[in-house]
Amino acid sequence: MSLPEPATAEWIDHRDTLQAWLAAVPADAAIGLDTEFMRRNTFYPQLALLQLGWNGRHALIDPLAFDIGDALQPLLGTGPAVTVMHSASEDLETLAPLLPDGPHTLFDTQIAAAFVGMGLGISYRALVAELAGAELDKGETRSDWMQRPLTDSQRSYAALDVVYLKTIHEQLAERLQQRGRSTWHAEDCERLKRRASHRDGDPQPQRAMRGAADWQSAQQALLRRLLVWRDRSARRIDVPRPWLLDDTLALSLAQQPPASLNELEQRGRGQRALRSAQRSELFALLAEAVSADEIDTTMRIPGHPQGEAKKALAGMKQVVDTLAGELDLPPGLLCSRKALEEYVVTAEWPDLLDGWRHDVLHDRLANLLPG
């Protein structure tokens, strides 16, 4: 295993320089992309650095020095270029102001590696070691990317995050084609893009609160109202959701709404962003009666499988494991346990299993649903 040479990259801190760099890239190129961002005290990740790589040329773009705006959109957002990224979900969220719908064509190397037998959730560092024979340093993993100027070590570390994407992309794309998995991989990349582009939040956030699965319908609808408010408010004032309302307090308030604003203030102590204005909004929200329409449009929270459903879940898990072995895929890539539990409890095919997974799994699993 060899150590990589110190990576060099052009430092770009003007829009004209960025546009000139992008103009030299062919429209149908495969472009490596990565970001460094900070997410400590805000809802939205703060873009601190953008790294690009193409054909041996690498750029470190400083978004703190100028407004990148829509400069990336013509090449990456609407053109035929392939954007190569590793474990892209958080990067896509960070890039949303620049690429609202994500890259036109995304190639996620972590997802590709799972499809070609390299395991689920493999790190970029491990991929570089396996496919490029180089050992990357982890020294700047927790670096302060908002500081200026960046150190030489930070710049080299950031550049190396895109230096190897070209060779990794080429090898993984070939292996995907050999296994006949290119279409499945492309579909999962599109799914990742869609999930990252949901800028209004989950319309049914209560479904993640499985501790409330046995609550009455009106209580679940109130919980949904509360969680939708939390998400919208956290986005509006740009703070982490738990700073406004943590899960424990959200469940408590929905189950037993406060009788007064003073009671809400007492119960909400410790919520760093739950100020007077937010408390007043929240109290009014909790005091309003739940309507029949709210109940009708609130999806029930799936509980944990019990009895026959639990037996059916075990049978489904065995089918998934067997089929994953036949397809040489990680079972978790083929079908997550969460999706199986949702299906066996609700008998409704989960969105997580749409597309190629539906074609492969539906008939096999539907026969195992409890009668």
- pLDDT, tens digit, 9 for 90 and up, residues 226-250: 999 999 999 999 999 999 999 999 9
- pLDDT, tens digit, 9 for 90 and up, residues 169-204: 999 999 999 999 999 999 999 999 998 876 678 899
pLDDT value of residue 138: 74
Is there a contact between 38 and 146 (Cβ–Cβ < 8 Å)? yes
Is there a contact between 254 and 226 (Cβ–Cβ < 8 Å)? yes
Domain 205-297 indexed as CATH 3.30.360.10: no
Distance of CA 276 to CAs 199, 279, 368, Å? 26, 5, 52
Q: Is 90 exceeded by the pLDDT of residue 137? A: no
CATH architecture classification, 10-196: 2-Layer Sandwich (3.30)
Give all strands of the β-sheet with 46-54 in edge-to-edge order.
10-12, 57-61, 46-54, 30-38, 82-85, 105-108
Where do the structural domains in the chain lie, given as residue ranges?
10-196, 205-297, 308-366
Q: Is 50 exceeded by the pLDDT of residue 3? A: no
- pLDDT, tens digit, 9 for 90 and up, residues 35-50: 999 988 999 999 999 9
How many CB atoms are located within 10 Å of the residue 274 CB?
Answer: 24
Q: Is 90 exceeded by the pLDDT of residue 4? A: no
Range 124-131 average pLDDT: 96
Where residue 292 falls (left for φ over 0; alpha for ψ -120 to 50; beta otherwise) is alpha
Give the H or E element holding residue 92: helix 89-95
Average pLDDT, the chain: 94
| Closest CA relative to residue 360, chosen from 337, 334, 332, 333 | 334
pTM over 0.85: yes
Q: Do domains 10-196 and 205-297 have the same CATH topology?
A: no
Please enumerate, as own/partner, the contacts of 138-143 that have beta carbons within 8 Å and a separation of 24 or more.
Answer: 143/36
